[in-house]
Amino acid sequence: MGFRYENNELYVENIKVEEIVNKEKTPLYIYSKSYFKKQFEKFDKAFSRKHCVSFAIKANSNLSVINTFAKLGSGADIVSKGELFRAIKAGVDTSKIVFSGVAKTKDEIEYALKNNIMMINVESMDELYSINEVAKNLGVKARISFRVNPNVDPKTHPYISTGLKKNKFGIPYDEAYDSYIKAKNLKNIDVYGVQFHIGSQLLDSKPIYDASVKIAELMKKLEEEGIEWRAVDVGGGLGIVYDNRKDTPPSVEIYAEQIEKAFEDFPDVLLVFEPGRFMVGNGGILVTEVVYHKTNSNKNFIIVDAGMNDLLRPSLYGAYHEIKPLKIEDKKKIVCDIVGPICETGDFLARDYEIENVENGGYLSVFSAGAYGFTMSSNYNSRVRPAEIMVDNDTYKVIREREELDNLIKGEKI
């Protein structure tokens, strides 16, 4: 299921994409529910021991998307009070929620403790003391894990590398032992587990295995000090294929074998995972209409109605997304920049991209847009954000309505 071409026309599950676009207009995010389910089940079934899959809400925070995974038994990885609010509204079991992020406020910590989430992933000693203080005021013990920075190179884009010494995330590996000892002695702290996450969009799981081995060594040393481990959170990071010409998909089975091997000395400890992109990335597209063509000194441009405010990844990371017409007609191909309406030179979906020359009024599909697409969108240039659609077999639902102009000024006053 998912997305496929049939008779040179793009389908999502059993619906022709153009039929949806004709009714719902563009720009438009479209998701495949069957793809989401397939990815979750593939990941979940790869493990033979006790584990918890906690979907990383930052990848796609639509309530219907979160609910799809919650119904399959997924928890949630959250990084804000707002994401916890979304998870609860979408029906996620709070005992399967882990809270990451470097700047949790006392208000956010209180909200998490009142909702009795699995654990808070602590990223600094200052944060630990804040959690202890909030827990004391509430009369509870806060379940925590430290996010330990193992200093393993994930070999990914520097903006989404999180496990090196120079990154802002976590506490240094060589300080983790002392940090855990201090945490153990705080009255309102329950040392529950350990967490690490070295980066995103990893196509080789070997760096995650290397980091896991280092974390297991730390766990053994701290076990000798009386710490009883109940959870180890491996984070997320498994990547997807964006570019079929060079990307090789990671093996979930090999990944599972490596993780279970690394922590084989802790057979009763719950393994927690935070997949995001892997679950949703290739289960979504962004459809955009060709508005104009333009040539400047032999440089070709296809100007579309979706911009960096709708899909930020190409502008932010120089990220590659495959782009194709909704209807392939074997027209002459051109090399062009595919650009949007935003008043920034960096507003592009692709540069020097070879594509069939779609006429004005035709449609393009930007693939692999299910993760970090709508969730990173904005109202820059006072543009309304797109609708989101969920397709289930031969039916679809609008799971987020296209914004109206009134949305742009909600809460503002003159």
How far apart, in whole angstroms, are the C-alpha atoms of residue 114 and residue 200?
A: 30
Catalytic residue among 343, 345, 382, 411: 343
Residue 259 contacts residue 208 (beta carbons within 8 Å): yes
Instruction: Check if 343 is active-site.
Output: yes
3-state secondary structure the chain: CCEEEECCEEEECCEEHHHHHHHHCCCEEEEEHHHHHHHHHHHHCCCCCCEEEEEEHHHCCCHHHHHHHHCCCCEEEECCHHHHHHHHHCCCCHHHEEECCCCCCHHHHHHHHHCCCCEEEECCHHHHHHHHHHHHHHCCCEEEEEEEECCCCCCCCHHHECCCCCCCCCEEHHHHHHHHHHHHCCCCEEEEEEECCCECCECCCHHHHHHHHHHHHHHHHHHCCCCCCCEEECCCCECCCCCCCCCCCCCHHHHHHHHHHHCCCCCCCEEEECCCHHHHHHHEEEEEEEEEEEEECCEEEEEECCCCCCCCHHHHHCCCCCEEECECCCCCEEEEEEECCCCCCCCEEEEEEEEECCCCCCEEEECCCCCCCHHHCCCHHHCCCCEEEEEECCEEEEEECCCCHHHHCCCCCC
- Cα atoms in the Cβ-side hemisphere of radius 13 Å centred on 7: 2
Q: Please give the angle made by the CA atoms of 118, 122 and 88, to the nearest 5 degrees.
A: 35
- What's phi and psi for 81, nearest 5 deg? -60, -40
CB distance 179 to 190 below 8 Å? no
Are 132 and 142 in contact by the 8 Å Cβ rule? The answer is yes
In angstroms, the CA 227 to CA 146 distance is 13
Q: Which residues are catalytic?
A: 343
